[in-house]
Structure 1
């Protein structure tokens, strides 16, 4: 009569969904649980006592990778390793994906056999493959969108610049020929001002379409953001405003095209200032490694973004500013994309601030060090 402990062990082994197979040192199959029979499509009664080669090696090409793992463990004692291999069941159209882990069955330091654990990870493998395809497709669509915008930008710059310059020039020429008190001066001034707006739009579009490729190098995080802050404050100084930055980072260096990426950060800092009523804008910047990415979060506490507008802020020519041309954030988005990164913009709503997250791929080299905080 089996002992109580052996009954417990047998019930546990039978209840798990991981396949368990024990092969003796002579190569005979000594044990199979129900999960192993289901995963490997075996009949327990017909399989026990047979050599594993009789069951699995049916020809030279069928389940070659699976059989090689078993052979390596038996012949070369390569136990303790984990392998992911395809396993085809006859009659099935698509092979399964199995995770195989092996170990030794020992007693008093004597090897009695080999233990194999089989886990069917087909669903997980297929889900990961679908996710990779979706991510790849999204990246492809974003690249197509940016390339299409490049073409549009170049066309706009070419087709609009010359007529705009002529319109503005002719309006000024006519204005000089008229008396200052002539009623037409008002209309000519409006024409000239609108022509200047168009010239500004064309200049922004040309800057976007002529953006250089980033020259990637490792830059110090603290120094980089200090320089970006100084550049932004130099611009804001003209209108009597400024930005205070709280930088928290656990990453010492990031790999970016320094000058180009700095342009994006300055744009985001200026954007935070534009949508903060106070003369001094407080911006929190956090830089950290998250899994296999470097995440940069730029957080302001300004006016926030209306829910109905959040999906349009990256659209070209979309702007809520009276004198804006709507190319600032698209330009930032393109710079981030050129760095193989992603840009996310979130806002809880009006008066609740905005968080801009830049996600960059983490380089293979050691990129994280002990955290440091700069106030």
Structure 2
């Protein structure tokens, strides 16, 4: 093999490779390298073959130990090394990006060396960095636009709220001075109802646009769900059984945000089940909790008819509602709060009908875990 390695055919073969090629012997020393490898690494073939310089060349990589393991895989462990991506400080002062791949050199079934192919992927990395910078710039511009729209929405809501209070206040005052059979009473009641509806829209827009600082703390999601059910029932005037799944212990989350999300989801479930006018006697809403690593999963399901395809497509669009009288901002606000917490909120149909809302929140491992109970807790 050594005779072949010193032949002109062998060197012509090495030079035919467009990528850099370095051949090491069983001791990890370089005994052959092509011009492409010399150019990529910034050392002459003689310097690459000098044992005194090998450690310094390897040290130019951002992960010298990974390179050492790459070389040790075939030479010490007799297996082909996995491809390795490294950053390399070239002697000319520039940083290069290389991809190393290795092939075993065998003679009579024994490994006598390793062929290392060096591919320059610097431009690919630079392209990715430029693309990443561009995307970050676009994201920053979008965030600035969102913040500007939020500030504009709050300013408009404030300007509308002031004259609206005057309209509603004086209309109510005039209405209180009218007898029930007064023909103007009905007109004033319609004006007052419109003012109240517009006030609800302004309040919802302000709540949607307002950004609050997170205040994460350890909280009991089951307790928050029970409280949210009470709030949803008071707001909608509807009631149903609440079925809580087995507890998962305490979660680190913003309790106010999580409670707000659960209230909106439970109110939506109650109103869905009462599509025919009232909640059926056997109507129930289930709230299940689960963990996947540090993430917390909350699933809210109901026994109603479930949303249709149109409702699912536009459920989180501001002002979309299937109710005769409604603002249509509950679910958009709930999703906004979930995103503010770094999570996501989705809505769908259950496998056996009914609506299903899935909330996923990132988090930390639980400080303490409550014992698992085989049976769920049912609250009237």
TM tier, smaller:
0.5 to 0.7
Deviation per CA, 1:286-313: give whole Å up to 9, x if none.
42216x7443333334233232332322
**Mapped pair 1:274 → 2:277:** no
Is the CA contact 1:286–1:298 (under 8 Å) kept in the aligned structure 2? no
Gaps of 5+ in 2: 1-20, 38-44
**Mapped pair 1:245 → 2:243:** yes
Query: Cα distance 1:143–1:53, how it changes in 2: closer, same or farther (>3 A)?
Result: same
Is the CA contact 2:58–2:67 (under 8 Å) kept in the aligned structure 1? no
What is the CA distance between 1:52 and its match in structure 2? Answer: 9.0
Distance 1:234 1:261 in 2: 13
Between the two proteins, the alignment pairs up a number of residues equal to 327
What is the CA distance between 1:235 and its match in structure 2? Answer: 4.4
Aligned to 1:337: 339
Distance 2:350 2:67 in 1: 58
Deviation per CA, 1:2-53: give whole Å up to 9, x if none.
xxxxxxxxxxxxxxxxx997632161459x9xxxx9xx977xxxxxxx8892
Distance 2:371 2:31 in 1: 52
What is the CA distance between 1:196 and its match in structure 2? Answer: 1.6
The 5-angstrom pairing of residues 159-178 of structure 1 reads 159-178=159-178
Distance 2:63 2:232 in 1: 68
TM-score computed with the length of structure 2 as normaliser:
0.63
Distance 1:101 1:361 in 2: 40
Query: Cα distance 1:326–1:97, how it changes in 2: closer, same or farther (>3 A)?
Result: farther
Aligned to 2:60: 64
What is the CA distance between 1:154 and its match in structure 2? Answer: 0.9
**Mapped pair 1:203 → 2:203:** yes
Distance 1:53 1:327 in 2: 68
Aligned to 1:108: none
Aligned to 2:257: 260
Q: Secondary structure at the match of 1:65?
A: coil
Among candidates 297, 300, 305, match of residue 299 of structure 2:
297
Q: CA RMSD in A?
A: 5.3
Among candidates 313, 316, 320, match of residue 322 of structure 2:
320
Does 176-185 or 68-77 show the bigger shift? 68-77
TM-score computed with the length of structure 1 as normaliser:
0.64
Is the CA contact 2:250–2:366 (under 8 Å) kept in the aligned structure 1? no
The 5-angstrom pairing of residues 47-62 of structure 1 reads 53-54=48-49
Among candidates 270, 284, 288, match of residue 291 of structure 2:
288
Query: Cα distance 1:328–1:240, how it changes in 2: closer, same or farther (>3 A)?
Result: closer
Distance 1:370 1:137 in 2: 47
What is the CA distance between 1:271 and its match in structure 2? Answer: 1.2
Aligned to 1:25: 27
Is the CA contact 2:266–2:285 (under 8 Å) kept in the aligned structure 1? no
Aligned to 2:355: 354
What is the CA distance between 1:158 and its match in structure 2? Answer: 0.8
Is the CA contact 2:232–2:264 (under 8 Å) kept in the aligned structure 1? no
Is the CA contact 1:228–1:262 (under 8 Å) kept in the aligned structure 2? yes
Q: Secondary structure at the match of 1:352?
A: coil
Among candidates 219, 225, 229, match of residue 226 of structure 2:
229
The 5-angstrom pairing of residues 106-121 of structure 1 reads none
Aligned to 1:192: 192
Aligned to 1:4: none
Deviation per CA, 1:189-218: give whole Å up to 9, x if none.
111111122222223333334453221123
Is the CA contact 2:58–2:64 (under 8 Å) kept in the aligned structure 1? no
Q: Secondary structure at the match of 2:265?
A: helix
Distance 1:298 1:41 in 2: 61
